[in-house]
Amino acid sequence: MRRLTGFLIALGAGTSLQAASVQLTLELPRIEVSEYHRPYVAVWIEREDRSVAANLALWYQGKEGKDAQSGKTEPGSKWLSDLRQWWRRSGRDQVLPLDGVSGATRPAGQHQLVFAGDKPPLATLAPGSYKLMIEVAREVGGREVVSVPFSWPPSAPEHLDAQGSHEIGAVRLDLDP
């Protein structure tokens, strides 16, 4: 029995006890136009039946602002419905701001999001096949959706890439067991 216990302790000493993790690198490209507005961005995990398993990030203008055309004051959340796929699947049922998910819009450039597998929202994610969904919409601009299929939990380190065409640049998803 002592040998078995010693073997298990030695085996455990060489392995990591950390839970799986996800690191997402998302590029918002610099778009040279006369009227540039920072985009609204939604990042979520979708099940095979296209239902939302977890909301990961929602970047929007949370404060009230004046509409450029009408001059009326309106909340920044008014335009979240422009993130059409996210809005139809999850957004319209949410109470904003989403705790731990909502944030301000971000400038052009690379942005990293890191999620630990033992903390919400990944802690309750059942094993299976999923898609990481990224949707970007910009006022006086375009709208784009990129998806990255992946399996959870990862059994080995995995690096997945995707590329948007205009509103989303390079997307890199790193999964670590």
The pLDDT score that the predictor gives to residue 15 is 38
d(CA 43, CA 171): 12
Question: Domains (ranges, CATH) in the chain?
Answer: 18-176 (2.60.40)
The pLDDT score that the predictor gives to residue 18 is 54
**Whole-Å CA distances, 164 to 9, 26, 41, 89, 143:** 47, 10, 13, 21, 11
Locate 60 and state its tokens. Answer: 């929007």
d(CA 26, CA 160): 12
Q: Give the dihedral of Cα atoms 80, 76, 44, 120; nearest 10 deg.
A: -140
The dihedral built from the CA positions of residue 121, 77, 145 and 58, taken in this order, carries a sign that is: negative
Each residue's pLDDT, cut to its tens digit, for the chain (177 residues) gives 444 444 334 444 333 445 799 999 999 999 998 888 899 999 999 999 999 999 999 999 877 655 556 666 557 788 899 999 999 999 999 988 888 899 999 999 999 999 999 999 999 999 999 999 999 999 888 999 999 999 999 999 999 999 999 999 999 999 999
The pLDDT score that the predictor gives to residue 97 is 86
d(CA 23, CA 21): 7
Cα–Cα nearest to 46, from 154, 128, 133 = 133
d(CA 91, CA 94): 5
pTM: 0.84
Locate 115 and state its tokens. Answer: 């999620």
Locate 42 and state its tokens. Answer: 């939604």
